[in-house]
Each structure stands twice: as C-alpha cells, then as structure tokens.
Amino acid sequence: MNIKKVMALSLATCIAVSPIAVNAEEEIRLISAPINSPISAPIDEAKVTEYIEFRGKITKVENGHNMLAILVENENTEGLDALKAYINEDVILLNDKTLEFADEDDLEVGMEVTIFYHKDTIMAMSYPPQLGPDVVIINEAEEYQGVMISKFDENLLNAEGDMIIRPSEETVIVDKDGESLEIEDLANRDLIAFFDIVLTSYPGQTSPKKIIVMPEREEVGVVDEVNEGEEKEFKEFILDNECIKDINGFKMIPLRFVGEGLGYEVAWNQETKTAELTRGAQWTAVTIGKDNYNFAKMLIRLGAAPELVDSKTYVPQSFIEEVLKAKVEIIPEGLKILY
C-alpha cells in the first residue's frame, strides 16, 4: 500500500470562516462559523504550523502494556488518510462539547476525534504512520466549536502570526491538571484555546471560552557530533566486552548498568516483568519478551525483545542510541558510550 503524501494544513484554515480583512480601513466584524462550514481559505502548503491537525474516526482501539493505541482514519483522497496514535498520561484528552478533560476509557470505535501533534514530533513512517500526539479532542459538539493550538508570544500572538487571543473575565484558564491559572501565565507558552467568535481584522482576534496551558515541551534529540577542531565535552563510560552478550544474533547489553551509567534511575516490577528508567522528565520502560520500546510517547521496535539472563535485563545494543539517545563508539575493549 502506498504511503500518501502528508500535508501540514494550516490551523488557520480551521478557523477561516470568511475572507480575512487585510485593508486597515475595512470595518471589523464579529463572525461565527456555521456548523460543519467548509474551509474556504486557500491552503498554503509552504506555511509551517506549530501543531499539525488530523481529523477522522476511530476504527480500532488497542490496549497494550502501559499504553493505549487508537487507529484513526478518514476519507482523504489526497494527504494523510490514517494515523495510529499512542495515548499515555502525557496526552491531553478533551471533549469539544463540554470543554472538559476526557479519559482514555472515553475513546471508542466509531467516535470522531481530532489529533494534534507538534511539527517536531517523531513519527514512525510505517503505514499508517505512528506517533505520540500532544492533544486528542473528542468531537461531540453539535454547534460550531473552534479550537486553536499553538505557541503564543508575549503579546498572545500565535506562532503562525494570524491570531491573537484576548482573554476576558469569563475565560477559564487552567493547566493540564485542571489547576486555575492567570492571564500572566499565558505568555510564551503552548496553549489550547476554545472559541466561537472571531474578529476579522488581520491578524484575527478572539476571546476564548477556555484556555489550557500545555506543559513545557521536552527537547528530544541525539547527542551532537563532535566536529574536528571543535571543543565539546562529553561524559562517557565504557561497557566492557564481557558485559555484552550475543543472544539470537543480537548484541545485547545490560539495561541497569547502562541506564544508571547514563544517570537514569532504574526500577524493576517483578509482577509485570517490566523495567522503568527515569531521568528528570525523561521516562521509558521495557518489558521482558516484548519488542516494544517506549520513546517520544510512542512504541518502536528494535528487532529483539528484552531478555532475562542471570536475573539481569538485557536489551539490544541499538536501545542506547534509538531510545536513550546516547552516542555509541565501538572500541577494542567494548563500547564507549557518550552523552
């Protein structure tokens, strides 16, 4: 099956309910979009939005270890027509009818949802593509309900430069946990804004009904390469050859030794045969016998499942780079791990 072209649609098109007035002398009007109004603004494929939107119907719900996965499909003939999203405690679930937080148990087959994921989200390019979204909205509103997700600056202008939010005394402002916040907490943060009326000035302006302040984004990346002549210090440690085992044709390394060497706290759950690694906001987990590794809010496969050998958990050597994002150099003594 061919993977169809992924098109990043501007979130502005989701709120474009009439042509935007660019003439400063034109009268500013209050407008509200009708239910299921078609997108009338042209799509600018070159424009990069902070959060990409995918809307469709849940066709499958999978309950895996530590994580729920939903398959969402639509009838797009051009662009993305299917997406598999992994749902964990970091994903913000909302209902556009009540504007309240939802639970994983609320996600059901046949339900219309909208998935939002950051432009820098790591995506497994299988078919369908797989990722860990930032926000999933259950679409149950019978009347028009606008939603915008972006990073807003000190003037509360979104990253796309086409919308300013003007919170009023009636605007509900909360964080991911539902705790109340103030207008002063909104600047330079990623926000979810629910609204229904827009001023057709440019940029557009709206007074949201509710704003959810998203957690600070965690940067995910590999250790930078050291260029010749460039001074850059790395922490490092050596994994000796005798610690590396050859299991079913894969080089396997001791998880606890490497994890603690990289500064992670390693906890073992005997009941589920799962090891969890935590370092600050970073978290991952592996389960004996399961070739599913948590990374960037999704599951990836490394070709080999974790194994218990002499009461120690071993994982593929690729786990170091692909999941823990450290740099590995092969040396005569074994592996040099830099971070």
**pLDDT tens across 76-88, in order?**
887 889 999 989 8
Split at pLDDT 50, 70, 90, the class of 65 is low
Structural domains in the chain? Answer: 11-213 (2.40.50.140), 236-338 (3.30.457.10)
pLDDT at 162: 92
Residue 134 contacts residue 116 (beta carbons within 8 Å): yes
Q: Does the pLDDT at position 27 exceed 50?
A: no
| Residue with token string 């605007």 | 171
Q: Are strands 51-64 and 92-95 parallel, antiparallel or unpaired?
A: unpaired
Tens-digit pLDDT profile for residues 308-326 = 998 999 999 999 988 898 8
Residue 51 contacts residue 117 (beta carbons within 8 Å): yes
Residue 75 to residues 20, 29, 123, Cα–Cα distance (Å) = 29, 34, 21
Classify the phi-psi angles of 157: left when phi > 0, otherwise alpha if psi is within -120 to 50, otherwise beta.
Answer: beta
pLDDT at 338: 85
Residue 212 contacts residue 94 (beta carbons within 8 Å): yes
- Across the beta sheet with 172-175, the strand order is 146-152, 189-195, 210-213, 172-175
* Cα separation, 1 vs 339, whole angstroms: 39
Tens-digit pLDDT profile for residues 84-115 = 998 988 899 999 999 999 999 999 999 999 99
- CA-nearest of 8, 115, 110 to 55 is 115
User: What stretches of the chain show up as alpha helix (H) in DSSP?
Assistant: 255-261, 319-322
Helix (H) or strand (E) holding 94: strand 92-95
Residue 334 contacts residue 244 (beta carbons within 8 Å): yes
Average pLDDT of the chain? 81
Q: Does the pLDDT at position 219 exceed 80?
A: no
Q: Which residue has the higher pLDDT, 156 or 27?
A: 156
Q: Does the pLDDT at position 36 exceed 80?
A: no
Q: Which residue has the higher pLDDT, 49 or 152?
A: 152
- How many C-beta neighbours within 10 Å does residue 190 have? 20
